[in-house]
A and B are shown apart, each in its own frame.
Chain A
Amino acid sequence: MTTQTPSKPAREPGIFTQTVAGFGKGLIDVVSTIGGVVTLAIDVARWSVRRPFRLHNLFAQLDFVGVGSIFIVGLTGLFTGMVFALQTSEAFALFDAESLVGPTVALTLTRELAAVFSALMVTMRAGSAMCTELGTMRVTEQVDALETMAVNPVQYLLVPRILAGLFMVPMLTILFSTAGMTGAYFVAVGGLGISPGTFLTRTQQWLEPVDIYEGVIKGAVFGVSVALICCYKGFNASGGAKGVGQATTEAMVASALSIFILDFLVGIVMH
């Protein structure tokens, strides 16, 4: 009679190995996404200067990304300015410097908050829609159908979306700052009793055109980055409805992170 020795069960990888493997996989994913987004950016730049120029598609995206975001960006800006005026006035009141509420809100909005918040709003409203629309087109072979009809999908689908991000987020940034300053004015002047002259004069003294340019440039950078990431994730979605959902989640996280990282990097370059 022969006896069989049971084979050893495969050893489960230890917690350390799993952690290192997970970290490595995450790192590879991040590097491959950055590589993919950069490659896509080059492709988009190349196709954006080639004929035919589909102005109808571009205007549709400008309308969707920009005009469609006016209400939500304006409202967010209004309340951000109001809250900021309320909080800073309390702090400045401690050393009788309420006159600095206007300039403080103005500088914070124009240099930082307007661009960051506008880009976040566009990410949530338009970026998610871009990603799901492109992802659905990819998994239902509509993108392949475009290619078989000798229409380049990067030029037809992506170029108008990226250009809309480039042109409209800076405009929304200006809108956000304007709405924010309006909100701050009403809280400071109407609610806290700061004189209108003080609020406006002090703001005028401190606010330089370069502060506004900084916000606008940041808005353009964030707009391109958000649109590129959302388009890249949607364009490369796979695995049906679940895959599109996962791509959209990844696009939202990556877009939000890119806004904060680029905010820091552009800030370093501009100061």
Chain B
Amino acid sequence: MAASGPPSEDNAGMSTKPMIEIVDLHKTFGENKVLTGINLSVPAGSTCVILGGSGSGKTVLMKHMIGLLRPDSGQVIIDGEDIIPMGVQSLQRVRNKFGMVFQAAALFDSMTVFENVAFPLREHTHLSEDELYAKVRSKLDLMGLKREVESKFPSDLSGGMRKRVGLARAVVLDPKIVLYDEPTTGLDPITTDYVDEMILAAQKGLGVTSVVISHDISSAFNVGDQIAFLSKGVIVAHGPPEQLRESQHPAVKVFLETWFGKN
């Protein structure tokens, strides 16, 4: 479990001070109780993977973290501030700490790759065109995207390339937190490995706190410093990957057996 107590730093530069803290979060859509008392703490600089089957409420949980959904009750504390009672403008200030990579990238299809990545910079900074180009280029380089890609539209890119552009856009403002919504869904194994490397590179290179929503067990164990397993609206197991493998919770055991086998 994530440690509690006074903030400290471990050897890997990871702080135990929580960057994201979720306290007793409940959310219901009509008759459907999606989240029924989520408690989660993500230390600054770490990568937390939220693992769970389809329809377990992973994406709903992530949308609460960035204030896209309001809970029925509970707290979402980001970098020490509870975002639930915040108004639109305060929430926008907190959102500047985030970058988000969507499942299908959610690139603006009327803009080129360059314009997509430059968009947050144009909205939130006053950089000159040269500075802006240099910044966009550095993020595209980080994702291994060549100069020819800059003028292409999202519809001209493969799924893996779109994900990389999405990640470049998410980190272009050097956020403190990056959220990944099922980053490896629908990708072939080689591209999946590449995306995993990108997530690790973003964490190590930029020092961001990452939350990855996934049902891809291999990817979760590759990138996660800690894994939280979500089942029926609650987190039933949470800890480092090796600790999760030893979990005796029936839902976790059944889920992990699909990858590791019964032994």
Contact = CB atoms under 8 A, between A and B. Distances in A.
Interface of A: 136-137, 140-142, 144-145, 147-152
Contacts of B107: 142, 145
B106 A145 contact: yes
Interface string B90-127: 00110110111011101111000000000110011000
Contacts of B68: 144, 147-148
Contacts of B179: 148
Contacts of B102: 141, 144-145
Contacts of A144: 63, 68, 102, 106
Give the secondary structure class of B's interface.
mixed
Nearest to B93: A150
B66 interface: yes
A147 B95 contact: yes
A164 B107 CA distance: 25
Nearest to A54: B123
Given A150-B92, A150-B93, 17 more contacts: A137-B108, A140-B109, A141-B103, A141-B106, A142-B106, A142-B107, A142-B108, A144-B102, A148-B68, A148-B98, A148-B100, A149-B119, A149-B120, A149-B123, A150-B95, A151-B123, A152-B92
A136 B124 CA distance: 25
B88 interface: yes
12 contacts: A142-B106, A142-B107, A142-B108, A142-B109, A144-B63, A144-B106, A145-B106, A147-B68, A147-B95, A148-B99, A149-B95, A150-B92
B96 A150 contact: yes
A42 to B, nearest CB: 14
Interface of B: 63, 66, 68, 88, 92-93, 95-96, 98-100, 102-104, 106-109, 119-120, 123-124, 179
A70 to B, nearest CB: 23
Nearest to A148: B100
Contacts of B93: 150
Contacts of A147: 66, 68, 95
B213 to A, nearest CB: 13
Nearest to A141: B106
B195 to A, nearest CB: 18
Contacts of B96: 150
B206 to A, nearest CB: 17
Nearest to A151: B123
Contacts of A136: 109
A140 B88 contact: no
A228 B133 CA distance: 37
Nearest to B99: A148
A144 B106 CA distance: 8
A214 to B, nearest CB: 38
Contact of B104 (A137, A141, A151, A152): A141
A64 to B, nearest CB: 12
B86 to A, nearest CB: 12
Which residue, of A142, A149, A151, A152, has the highest number of chain B Cβ atoms within 10 A? A149
Nearest to B88: A152
Contacts of A148: 66, 68, 95, 98-100, 179
Given A145-B100, A150-B95, A150-B124, A140 B119 contact: no
Nearest to A145: B106
Contacts of A149: 95, 119-120, 123-124
